[in-house]
Structure 1
Amino acid sequence: MKFSSIISQINESKFILVTGHIMPDGDDISSVTSLAVGLERLGKTVVGSIDYPVPWYYRNFYGVEKLKTYEQAKDLDPDLIIVVDCSTPDRVGRFQNLLNDRKTIVIDHHATNTLFGGLNWVDSSSASTAQMVYILNKTLGVPYDADLATVNYLGIATDTGFFKYSNTDSHVFKIAAELVEFGAKPHFVSSTILENKSPEQMKLYCRMVDHMIVDGQLVYSWLSYDDYRANNCSDDDSTGFVSELRSIKNVEVAILFIEYPEGQVHVSMRSKNWVDVSKIASSLGGGGHARAAGCSFRDAKLHEVLDEVIGLVRDFLQGGNR
């Protein structure tokens, strides 16, 4: 990939759709919003859209409220589609149907990316897609203010675990510092994401702890659809729970099984030091990073998915795979 080719294609395009992946996290929402806002400031007609509900607390950030639903964006006719933070076309959701008929650019930092775009900028050394978006915006000449800087900072902060994961390096801190100089508000980001939990969410967390099983270097737990219903919660409310499992002493791999909605099971995997969970997730049709990955099952039974995945992970640990 020539970075100049991406710059040229963006400059040549007048109407651009920016989209991300289903079950969006902070990096995805930040990247879609930051790029859509940035391109709009350059005079482009831009629509940002994600084919999945955006968790309510992200709507406190500038630009996120402008993101369209799939139903609002499906009949648009953009010159160019830019997909961010997405490793495979199926993760784009129903927007996948548009990719073959449009010019496409993929911007991502997952090593498992399948290079499904017409142009692909994939940098697995980048801690987040949001920092790649920052580099692109700055190259294009996007003017930054405190609002754009804060929502761009959001993705970097969340995908580095607020600068505590192993992907945090000097480059991350340099870009974060530049965004703070533009007016980004780290305290607003951290308090909005980390200190905004409802009582119902805490009760759901207690259910996860009740289900928790520690097996040597492995810890896992699950939340059924009934658990969510009983606590008046959705899958948004369990965001970050798997990281709490990983925090347990002497654990190498943490896994959380989420059934939401009924019959659909998402598996979130985390590791601390040596297990490459992206290899496990990829073997199950998913993907991600060495220390954070996941996969999903449709029309599935929670206990059957749990048995399959846990058996595979135990074999992986016993074999010393990295």
Structure 2
Amino acid sequence: MNPSPFLALFRPNVAENHLAAARQRVARAQRVLLLTHVNPDGDAIGSLLGLGLALRAAGKQVTFACSDVAPDNFRFLQGFAEISQEPRGEYDLIVALDAADLGRLGKLGKQLPRLPDVMFDHHATNPSFATINLLDVQAASTAELITELLEPLGLPLTRVAAEALLVGVITDTMGFRTSSTTAKTLALVQVLMQAGASLPELYDLAFFKRSYYTVRLWGQGLSRIKLEERLVWTSLTLADKAAAQYPGSGDGDLINILSAVREAEVAVIFTERPENKVKVSWRAVPGVDVAKLAALFGGGGHVAAAGAEVTGTLAEVETAVLAATRAVLKNDRNKNGAKRP
């Protein structure tokens, strides 16, 4: 790896003893299971494939796993077709990626023979649930953290691994637009580009190329979009997914479309899931903390982007979540004395 000279100004923001322990576990491992969170987003998939491809380049046997089907808009990444919902076998190293807590690993997390051996994450709400925790809440994405730690872990950065990691960084920063994007983020992007990842190509694929069925799903959700003062929301039912023939489990990134509504400060999407569950996703402008909202419903995330999976019917969950979100916005208005421009 030929790192950016600017990167020399920064040091890894993880516990040194955990980093040393992780290097030892990686060096000894032969069979590795990598897992990421339910309703996987770009950072989840990019981190999963990026770390896994680096491990393979180091001679390890790697299984990619996720409880949910991965969104097909990331199918251009090497290894995407190998992501399994039913991994089998025994593993001498189990790694959790981009999961804010053990529950976010879904059914696969419940089936693990032990707690994850190593965890990579950047969520402030993470309780450090693994044996070895590589947690950096200042990182803009888990993919950024992995990029920084590959060399200290003794792993190579290949072109295909760099492509996956760059997609993770791009998507979790919404194209370098989140307040979590730092000079360090951009220095690490230089490292990924030097390894052969094309920023213009991957930016286009990650943000502007969607399947016909994803766009059909957007149509279902946008047909019932609502705006009330500073809050915009919509929902996606299981019937919507069937009608659109959408194969994924999430919202197809429709939440990012809602967050573009300029009259709103908070965007919420409710995605119906099987077994009387609803996935709730929030996005907010600076100054509104939706991580606290998500925590009220057993979820977590970041100040400006958070989520939770809530038990109940779609109507019940909508009522409860919208009431809590309105209360947060009202309190924000009272503290600030007026609406934001």
Same fold, TM-score > 0.5, yes or no: yes
Aligned alpha-carbon RMSD (Å): 2.1
Q: Secondary structure at the match of 1:37?
A: helix
Name the amino acid aligned to 2:71: P
| Alignment check: 8 A CA contact 2:39 2:250 kept | no
Matched, 1:296 2:312: no
Q: Give the aligned residue type for 2:330.
A: Q
Q: Aligned equivalents of 1:56 and 1:192: distance in 2?
A: 11
- Give per-residue Cα distances to partners, 1:102-144, cap 9 Å, x unaligned: 6611110001112111111111100000111112212233333
Which residue is equivalent to 1:310? 322
Q: Helix, strand or coil for the counterpart of 2:223?
A: helix
Pair 1:233 & 2:246 matched? yes
Cα deviation, residue 309, structure 1? 0.3
Partner residue of 2:29?
A: 13
Alignment partner of 2:197 out of 160, 164, 184: 184
Q: Secondary structure at the match of 1:171?
A: helix
Relative to structure 1, the CA distance from residue 302 to residue 183 in structure 2 (aligned partners, 3 Å threshold; closer, same or farther) is same
Do the aligned residues in 2 keep the contact of 1:127 with 1:160 (CA within 8 Å)? yes
Q: In the TM superposition, what are the counterparts of 1:70-219 in structure 2 within 5 Å? A: 70-71=85-86, 73-74=87-88, 76-99=89-112, 101=114, 104-219=117-232
The aligned counterpart of 2:12 is: none
Aligned pair count reads: 318
Paired residue type of 2:121: D
**Native 8 Å contact 2:121 2:136 kept in 1:** yes
Equivalent position SS for 2:148: helix
Shift of 1:241: 1.2
Q: Measure, in 2, the Cα distance between the counterparts of 1:44 and 1:225.
A: 39
- 1:246 Cα deviation (Å)? 1.5
AA of the residue aligned to 1:310: L
The structural deviation recorded for 1:203 is 3.7
1:252-302 Cα shifts (integer Å, max 9, x gaps): 11101111347431111000111111110011011111111111124x211
Match of 1:281 among 291, 294, 302: 294
Corresponding position of 1:252: 265
1:47 to 55, 63, 71: 63
Mean Cα deviation higher: 167-176 or 90-99: 90-99
Percent of aligned pairs with the same amino acid:
28
Compare 135-144 and 120-129 and name the one that shifted more: 135-144
Aligned mates of 1:100, 1:92 — CA distance in 2: 14
Deviation larger for 264-273 or 227-236: 227-236
TM-score, normalisation: structure 2: 0.87
Shift of 1:235: 4.6
C-alpha separation in 2, matches of 1:204 and 1:95: 27
Supply the AA of the counterpart residue of 2:233.
Answer: Y
Letter in 1 for 2:51: L
**Paired letter, 2:328:** F
Change (3 A) 1:231 1:59: closer
* Alignment match, 2:75: 59
Is residue 235–residue 260 contact of structure 1 (8 Å, CA) maintained in 2?
no
**Unpaired runs of 5+ in structure 2?**
1-14, 337-341
User: Displacement of 1:65 after TM fit?
Assistant: 2.6
The answer (yes or no) to whether the contact 2:250–2:271 under 8 Å persists in 1 is no
Find the residue that maps to 2:269 and give its secondary structure: strand
Conserved in 1, the CA contact under 8 Å of 2:30 and 2:61? Answer: yes
Q: Which has the higher contact order (CA 8 A, sep 6+)?
A: 2
Offset, 1:26: 0.9
- SS at 1:19 equivalent: strand
The residue matched to 2:150 in structure 1 has which SS? helix
* Unmatched tracts of structure 1, length 5 or more: none
In the alignment, is the contact (CA less than 8 A) between 1:146 and 1:182 conserved in 2?
A: yes
**Paired residue type of 1:189:** L
User: Cα deviations across residues 33-79 of structure 1 (Å, max 9, x unaligned)?
Assistant: 11111122222232222222112232211122333x232x23x2111
AA aligned opposite 1:241: L
